[in-house]
Structure 1
């Protein structure tokens, strides 16, 4: 082969052709370095007949510079990249870039210098040095990573190294991971668990595509059940990928994995150090990483011998990526399993309606675990009608929940309060003139966070300290917090129960695996009496002494224009309810609501999941909504509002006129200003038979927009802001 087609990562340029120099052997899937103008770029050699390219004469082709020392991307992964780009209307280059997610891994074997505390005290102990010494106990990393961990400058650490307090350690970055033992511990499974496990094990051994929906109530032992399929893959010398929706869930999972297999899996998530990412990527591509546990991006790693994919908590919205390539990891996982010809397990106590419909149609095989493991019973659920049981002035917890916590404290049991709203209050205003504190970059209110003493936007990350005076009228000490966040609920608990030990669990407080591990240890050892948390606490945690769950505001998720609001509310409340009574002690769930007759609340109170899903299914069918119809959103944005509006109107004027496709809009997006960009939205509602992606590509391909205008496509959207 003397001429190759290169998929490089600048989507605007598209694929490029190069000449293979004499003595270099390359084929499809190889990662190479190529010249582009005065620069050098990395790309992937692709099958020439699958990519368009300009007709450049052979004599004008520039030669490749080098072949990178990594295994080629397998055909199955290349087909997944093509499918993802096609289905989600994304540039092929943007999808492929996710595969080569660790630039350092592409340069071959290497060592690096890391540093650790030597135990020697420096002669001069400044406050910064003391801070570093306290923060770095037990840590070993590069100088830059240690500086981030300690919250000091690299200069402070270099001073400690020169004084002998930090010592260098030469590390082989690509050292092998300890092997997992599929027979380390044989679990005691119930008859139903064993039956489901045997079915999945047989599929792993068959080496064929087999999608499963593992549908088990909270506490039924889904994890232990699919661990048997993981063990079967390990015995067959195949790799396993387990996707988790939240980094904070990783620690609890690691503990259970270690108990079953005698070691830890390989991790892949955004909090990894660069050397950890490099080591993991190379081990995955070479086949020595046996089990990978990661966030959604782990789905695109170049596994050498993948034998099983598990998507845990498969209903979770966080599996849908809302920027860049807007893919749903749950659905892409099924497609990767299909290309790899392996089983995929979607595990959930509250499956997505789409997954249940796939099981109903026979596309997925549904395995049901209807009862809790070990004789534990499901909690009793009671509704607290806030129109009758009104909390006191300035309070958010009604008397039944206060009484329930009191009884648990007397019995030495734990309580959990759930409110899916971070911070102290969702809105802050001036009591003198009514001024509302708004984000300068988004059409959203700033959320007060009293623990960190800041006003923050949860959309763009803008932060500012609370002002001493109102920016509008100049009144001092005038700020009023409106509505509750979890910090305000934690304050109320502290006032009502000053001796209770309270833990606040949100993405702000459990933002690293280490913090999650500390919280789990405290909760499991009984060092926490009351847990106050957001949706982060609704899944994956198992605390035997937790017997009361209080849902502070069950109506919160039903607000706004989210077309999946009822389903999402049901899932969240059912999941958090499932934290109660998981041990030998019975559990109780109290749900505060102002709308006890709402279908979703009534279904929760009755514990009748099937009735809720049946009603939701019919509502979706009548509306032509997924899974009975197709949705696609087109978002037009610009820093200039008039420019965004005009571009959206031009698109609207040329909307496709098809009997099976309806286009709604354009209209300002509910969040009309986001990160400094004005946004307009068009929504396509199509029948299942419509070729939505082809319609969108043809429609958008007719337009050339000003340079400041961005047009993004969201197939199967979950967010409607």
Structure 2
């Protein structure tokens, strides 16, 4: 009798042993169920042992095995490595690979209806609409067909009885169409063709290879990596390709480009999908039938059957960092996933992260440059607007220079984009009578006013209330006032300045779901919007041919706080948003409003000197031993009261192991000191590059036995310092 060592989707330190019943086809990597306590649990067979492992033991049996290809060795190794690196339980990382458990079972079936060609003797208007709809939408279920025709499902059933429709049982989750790599792609420039040739040669050679595709905004990076995808599919028609994007909005926008190039839409994976859509993508990826998967960072954990190429688009983007649960950076994990799979990985960006640039300079990544935009388009001119010399009018947020530029652009029949990375109407609501600042209960987070919905919202916890008519602290009536600008307030100002302009807001509040996102993008592309006002969702990957002016309302907002990457992130974000302008024949310009025009990030932006700015960042971090020249880890401690968290931190400090080169800072209040009623403190650990900081943090955790109300989490290579 064989023994299966099963890793469960639970915070357990190791797999458990179970007996494999006679005749059950269980292999290493099989998805199985087995009893754990009084509950039947899902797990994966991590190892199979022989008869000798049974001797003298009474083992519970494996209950069932799913008819799904076993998890590959490379995937299990990736999970084990990821758990060790992030100082997490392996079961937690395994759980990230099983977020669509419906995909473990075969597709459910549904009844669909086909036209038979017969016309019923009694053809009412409702029946005619159903037959017309069936001809247009094809084989669908009764509810979908009835909705398309604007009738009840009873009309559909009546047509079946009359012989005009034929019912058939078929899988509810259809396979994805196969991509066609030999369809014609874009005409590449010489620079693009050279970069594509290098990657295509790697696809033919096979094995692990890492590339940095470093191209200015609008240089055609997508078309270049399309050629790598096509070559991977020519070499191996069963190859699977993963394309990671930082935003759901980008996923929606780029699907049509994939479909145009390869004749088939890729399989999507992101949090905005329905359960049905997620189980479909999971199942098709596991069986190797989804050839191209495009999605957010969690798509990295799908159980691909034959992964040959991983592309991380906008690799510098901070949203690749997962902050909740298992903390990880998808860019770094993507490189390791590709290495373990023997696949190639492409990191693409116009503003690569300093870590990526240092890896390329060290020869760990092959750097491919795209220094120019194709055709007549060129990079926009960037001008700094010194708000100390040209301030906006009182209670306004746009400087005279930017207002004039907006009016000139509208008069020329061109489009403008205003960027402000603050949702809502005002980021702070204060009482004019007593000075009370409205916060989320149990936190130190300010509530943001959303005037369109009439609500106050916390963008950290999601807490939301209607805007009160009286101050909750002093009871003063009509005393609550929004302070500072959000995108809604800027839109209000523009409507007063240019009442004839067609204005829309593009943020996660207005683009909730794929249809809303696609609608805004399509209206912008077709010229139905004159001024688009948006948060960072507008900065990434969009191509609006008639957009010639970008205005940055508050360029300094990202520079605040003690984040070591604040300058780098500000430069990246502003460079990306400025790069939306002038992407076709018409020249573009960007006006950047700032109170700190002498800041290195602002000067580099105006001069187009990205590499000079990165050299300044490199020198500072190298001097201080900060990433990528040193390593950081954070330990966040939280408890229901300040006294409890302080006491816990004293014990944690005493338990810290000694280590050569290790520096320990803190505990200090986290930037968000109170969150969801819990008081938070943070330790920061700094080490040389050659120290296994994950092992150090794991050893520290092993010494700790905090009381139950105290929670401890570890973040290797922290990004947000929240």
TM-score (norm 1): 0.92
- Displacement, 1:643? 2.0
2:60 to 59, 62, 69: 62
Match of 1:47? 47
Deviations 1:315-364 (A, max 9, x none): 00001100111011100100011011111000000000000000010000
Task: Please state whether the residue corresponding to 1:347 is helix, strand or coil.
Answer: strand
Q: Does 1:78 align with 2:76?
A: yes
Using a 3 Å threshold, how does the CA distance of structure 1 residues 369 and 457 change in structure 2: closer, same or farther?
same
Post-superposition offset of 1:5 = 0.6
Once the two structures are TM-superposed, the CA of residue 140 in structure 1 deviates from its matched residue by: 12
Report what 1:130 is aligned to: none
Q: Could you say which residue in structure 2 is the equivalent of 1:643?
A: 644
How far 1:458 sits from its partner (Å)? 0.9
Q: Write the distance in 2 (CA, Å) between the matches of 1:110 and 1:327.
A: 34
> Equivalences for 1:34-433 in 2 at 5 Å?
34-47=34-47, 58-112=56-110, 172-235=171-234, 236-237=236-237, 238-433=239-434
RMSD of aligned Cα (Å): 2.6
Tell me, in whole angstroms, the C-alpha distance in 1 between the residues paired with 2:433 and 2:138: 50
Distance 1:598 1:56, change over 3 A: farther
Pairing of 1:298-697 with structure 2 (within 5 A)? 298-697=299-698
Count of paired positions: 689
Structure 1 stretch displaced more, 102-111 or 29-38 = 102-111
Alignment partner of 1:373: what SS? coil
TM superposition shift of 1:70: 0.6
In terms of mean alpha carbon deviation, does 605-614 or 170-179 score higher? 170-179
Distance 1:702 1:113, change over 3 A: farther
Distance in structure 2 (CA, Å) of the matches to 1:611 and 1:656: 40
Q: Distance in 1 between matches of 2:107 and 2:459?
A: 41
SS state at 1:652 partner: helix
Q: Is the 8 A contact 2:351 2:572 kept in 1?
A: yes
SS in 1 for 2:520: helix
Q: Is the 8 A contact 1:173 1:279 kept in 2?
A: no
Q: CA deviation at 1:107?
A: 2.0
How far the C-alpha of 1:656 sits from its partner, in A, is: 2.7
Farther-moved stretch of structure 1 (94-103 vs 572-581): 94-103
Following superposition, the deviation at residue 595 of structure 1 comes to 0.7
CA distance in structure 1 between the partners assigned to 2:333 and 2:188 by the alignment: 31
- Whole-angstrom distance in 1 between the partners of 2:263 and 2:98: 30
Q: How far is 1:58 from its partner?
A: 4.9
Gaps of at least 5 residues in structure 2 are 114-122, 127-135, 160-166
What is the distance in 2 between the residues matched to 1:41 and 1:435?
50
Shift of 1:590: 0.4
Q: Is the contact between residue 160 and residue 166 of structure 1 (CA under 8 Å) also seen in structure 2?
A: no
Which deviations, in whole Å up to 9, do the C-alpha atoms of 1:634-689 show, x marking residues without a partner?
A: 01112233222211221112223333110100111110111222111100011112
Equivalents in 1 of 2:436, 2:111: separation in Å?
54
CA distance in structure 1 between the aligned counterparts of 2:184 and 2:716, rounded to whole angstroms: 43
Q: Residue 374 of structure 1 aligns to a residue in which SS?
A: coil
Does the 8 A contact of 1:640 with 1:677 survive in 2? Answer: yes
- Taking a change above 3 Å as real, the CA distance of residues 622 and 160 of structure 1, as seen in their structure-2 partners, is farther
Task: Tell me if structure 2 keeps the 8 A contact 1:88–1:326.
Answer: yes
For the residue of structure 2 that corresponds to 1:458, the secondary structure is coil
Deviations, residues 388-445 of structure 1 (Å, cap 9, x unaligned): 1010111100011100010111110000001111111110111111111111132111
Q: Aligned to 2:322, what secondary structure does the other structure show? A: coil
Quote the residue 1:5 is aligned against. 5
> How far apart, CA to CA, are the structure 2 residues paired with 1:48 and 1:677?
43
Q: TM-score normalised to the size of structure 2? A: 0.91
> CA separation in 2, counterparts of 1:254 and 1:225?
16
SS across alignment from 1:47: strand
Provide, for residues 606-634 of structure 1, a one-character-per-residue CA deviation record: whole Å limited to 9, x for no partner. 11111100000001111111000000000
- Rounded Cα–Cα distance in structure 2 between residues aligned with 1:562 and 1:330: 20
Gaps (5+ residues) in structure 1? 50-54, 123-136, 150-158
Q: What is the SS of the residue equivalent to 1:382?
A: strand
Partner secondary structure for residue 642 of structure 1: helix
User: CA–CA distance in 1 between the matches of 2:422 and 2:157?
Assistant: 43
Q: Which residue of 1 aligns with 2:699?
A: 698
Asked if structure 2 preserves the Cα contact closer than 8 Å seen for 1:209 and 1:341, the reply is: yes
Q: Where in structure 1 do 4 or more consecutive aligned residues deviate above 3 Å?
A: 55-59, 112-115, 119-122, 137-146, 159-171
Aligned pair in 2 of structure 1 residues 692, 503: CA closer, same or farther (>3 Å)? same
Give the direction of change, closer, same or farther, for the CA distance of 1:660–1:109 in structure 2 (3 Å limit): same
CA deviation map 1:162-202 (0-9, x unaligned): 79899999651342211111122232000010000010011
Shift of 1:560: 1.2
What is the distance in 2 between the residues matched to 1:389 and 1:141? 61
